[in-house]
Amino acid sequence: MKKTLIIIGVILLVVFILYSFFAGRYNKMVTLQEEIPKAWADVEAQYQRRADLIPNLVNTVKGYANFEQETLTKVIEARASATQVKIDPSNITPEDLQKFQQAQSGVSSALGRLLAVAESYPELKANQNFLDLQAQLEGTENRITVARTRFNEVVQPYNVYIKTFPNNTLAGMYGFSAKGYFEADKGAEKAPEVKF
């Protein structure tokens, strides 16, 4: 009888240890993964804020008859293209993130050209509405940078956790996969050359 109780006690102890091992690691993966959609929502909110400012900026600039129509068209097309790229926050793959980033880079590039061309229009540069929108865009770009950094800070511990042993075997078994990071745009590593 005493021997049977010891065997049952050892079996229960082993079951408890195994359960704690698997459940604890699974719960940690879930906890880390659940941070990602919230961080992604912050990123999307900032990009949406920028997309919402673009029509006002375009309408303000349209009032200047000589303004290059092609530049305005490229901004509108880039915005439309960027808003078409949707990502499922529960399954952000590196490839999806790269597509999203490319679309948003198109918007940034088109806005950069628009603001550069606007420098040639003194009346436009003096327009208070244009100046306010320009300041809001600048603030939004800063918010986008902060949201992207925060997203990467949330993804990094999750990716590390699911890639380390023995978590990597459990992650595969449970269906957890690595998430992508925001990266600098191509060519951003080279400083622009300034000539006087």
135-162 per-position pLDDT tens digit: 999 999 999 999 999 999 999 999 999 9
Residue 7 in domain: no
Q: Is 159 exposed, middle or buried (0-12, 13-18, 19+ CB in 10 A)?
A: buried
Residue 89 in domain: yes
Name the residue range of residue 126's domain.
51-161
**pLDDT for the residue numbered 190:** 52
78-97 per-position pLDDT tens digit: 999 998 988 888 778 888 88
Main-chain dihedrals φ then ψ at residue 88, nearest 5 degrees:
-80, 115
Q: Annotate 119-180 with DSSP letters as a single string.
A: TT-HHHHH-HHHHHHHHHHHHHHHHHHHHHHHHHHHHHHHHHHHHSTTHHHHHHHHT-----
Tokens 């912050």, residue located: 42
**pLDDT for the residue numbered 127:** 84
**pLDDT for the residue numbered 50:** 94
Please state the pTM of the whole predicted model.
Answer: 0.80
Residue 187 in domain: no
**pLDDT for the residue numbered 66:** 65
Residue 87 in domain: yes
Residue 78 in domain: yes
How many domains, in total, are found in the chain?
1
Mean pLDDT of 12-36: 89
Residue 86 in domain: yes
Given a cut of 90, whether residue 44 has pLDDT beyond it is yes
Main-chain dihedrals φ then ψ at residue 109, nearest 5 degrees:
-65, -45
116-132 per-position pLDDT tens digit: 888 888 888 788 888 89
**pLDDT for the residue numbered 149:** 95
Mean pLDDT, the chain, rounded, equals: 86
**pLDDT for the residue numbered 70:** 83
Given a cut of 50, whether residue 196 has pLDDT beyond it is no
Q: Is 59 helix (H, G, I), strand (E, B) or coil?
A: helix
**pLDDT for the residue numbered 187:** 52
Given a cut of 80, whether residue 65 has pLDDT beyond it is no
Mean pLDDT of 21-28: 88
**pLDDT for the residue numbered 158:** 96
Q: Annotate 2-43 with DSSP letters as a single string.
A: HHHHHHHHHHHHHHHHHHHHHHHHHHHHHHHHHHHHHHHHHH
